[in-house]
Structure 1
Amino acid sequence: MEHQFINLTAENLAVEHLCCIIRSKKPHPGVEAKRKWLTQRLSEGHVFRKLDAKGCVFIEYAPLETAWVPIIGENYLYIYCLWINGEYKGKGYGKMLMEFCLADAKVKGRSGVCMLGAKKQKTWLSDQAFVKKFGFETVDSTPGGYELLALSFDGTTPRFAENAKKEQISSDELTIYYDLQCPYVPQVIEKVGQYCEASAVPVSLIQVDTLQKSKALPCVFNNFAVFYKGKFETVNLLDIAYLARILKK
């Protein structure tokens, strides 16, 4: 089993462990929301490949055309997440998963593979130092310090949509855009909502529920984006301490 990987399919999605959430025998709202989201994505070419174990060892990617991110490019794959955690680190699983993705892209005749990065590594983004070992390079950037990393097979490169570089909205109140691609998102949204209600902090929690909405966002996005006082803050999922720091600005 050590090196056995499986891809999620319509047939096994309902029963497979989704790798990146608290292990629980009870149904978890974030996991169930993720399953529902994936049900609609798999037919679009979305790939979720994982170690056949109840651990955090997986890669998740999709054709850029149907990836819920404000990035433009023809014939690319977009990596949402590559995550190896806990006891599984240091065993070469990340290399195996990345090599599978790159080989898959070449078999499918893709022009390359890309992912979201930043000048300074963000907690909720895949390890950009790791992917650069495979030849990924920065091909675009935003004023706020986020970068688009890409490995091109044919010399073409993707780019951020112009709206993603705006990084401003008209509302001054705390505003969070989110989708249900990540199992952690529902519980984060719930905690933020509870904190803001208890603290009398105005907040707008906006679910991004279509591909079109994701492509039109006024900032970079991997499944979460935070604005405060009209300014883009982060793609990191918030804990209460982080939220409190933002609100002090």
Structure 2
Amino acid sequence: MDIITVTRENLEQEHICCAISSNEDCQVASKKSWLAERFDEGLVFKKGNVRGKCFIEYIPAENAWCPIEADGYMYINCFWVSGQYKGQGNSNLLLNACIEDSKAKGKHGLVILSSSRKMPYLSDPKHLRYKDFELADTAEPYFELLYLPFDKSAPVPRFMKHVKSPAIQDEGFVLFYADQCPFTAKYVPLIEGIAKAKGVPFKAVHIETTNQAKQAPAPTTTYSLFYNGRFVTHEILSEKKFEKILAEIVTDSKTI
């Protein structure tokens, strides 16, 4: 498999959005717009020359949309190889390309957001440890910051203090989200509509800048849902999954 580096020049021609095939889809447009704005900040998007989930996206950690302190590192936004492209060495191919590029740019190493167990929308910790990533820091309830230092004397990355125990002051549902993942463009309005129809307090906070992302209340700035101040999930919810959460945690039947 050949690797293509997506740039502002070829962005409109390349397939970049997971399982979404049409450039006319609002999710694709949202993601490509987000990427275009990040290229000047050092973002790199490398993909296999295929139409499928086979890519790695990374950016200097100083510009990462994640509340971490990891100056001098390269932060991996997303690393995804699945389906028919697994088991063929493509993961190694992409990761090695990222490592070589990061070393050439003088970085201390790589850093990535993961979890204590395999979870949707977070990189698989077992696979990363197999690739020699180490634990740098943790944040409640299950987040792990993993890193791959190029030099053992490199400083250890860490979460910013304000996300070590994610919480906010607002009542009702509050969703913090960004366009970094294409799926938010579709699913945020859908669950917002469900909450409105049921009379459930719901506020969506759209993260639009790196600084806003750094100040976000949870490690995952792509999607973090809170209820009555308590962190609920980072998983991008379908209508069915949001309905299930409503049934499980909203106890005041008068609000549903």
Partner of 2:161: 162
TM-fit CA distance, 1:222: 4.5
**Cα contact 2:207–2:221 (8 A) shared by 1:** no
Residues 8-32 of structure 1: per-residue CA shift (max 9 Å, x gap): 11110121111413223x6011111
Tell me whether 1:111 sits opposite 2:108 in the alignment: yes
**Cα contact 2:141–2:165 (8 A) shared by 1:** no
**How many equivalent pairs are there?**
246
Letter of the aligned partner of 1:83 in structure 2?
A: W
Residues 194-222 of structure 1: per-residue CA shift (max 9 Å, x gap): 21122221111100011111001111114
Partner of 1:48: 45
**Cα contact 2:20–2:28 (8 A) shared by 1:** no
Tell me whether 1:186 sits opposite 2:192 in the alignment: no
Q: Which piece of structure 1 moves more, 107-116 or 190-199? A: 190-199
Q: Which structure is higher in RCO with an 8 Å CA cutoff and minimum separation 6?
A: 1
**Cα contact 2:45–2:58 (8 A) shared by 1:** yes
Letter of the aligned partner of 1:178 in structure 2?
A: Y
Partner of 2:18: 20
TM-fit CA distance, 1:133: 1.4
Secondary structure in 1 aligned to 2:120?
A: coil
Distance 1:207 1:112 in 2: 30
Partner of 2:254: none
Taking only aligned residues, the RMSD between alpha carbons, in angstroms, comes to: 1.3
Unmatched segments (≥5 aa) in structure 1 = none
TM-fit CA distance, 1:54: 1.1
Distance 1:105 1:5 in 2: 16
Distance 1:163 1:217 in 2: 9
Q: Which piece of structure 1 moves more, 29-38 or 121-130? A: 121-130
Summarize the alignment of residues 91-110 of structure 1 with structure 2, pairs less than 5 Å apart.
91-110=88-107
Partner of 1:5: 3
**Cα contact 2:110–2:148 (8 A) shared by 1:** yes
Unmatched segments (≥5 aa) in structure 2 = 250-256
Distance 2:142 2:123 in 1: 16
Normalising by structure 1, we get a TM-score of 0.94
Secondary structure in 2 aligned to 1:38?
A: helix
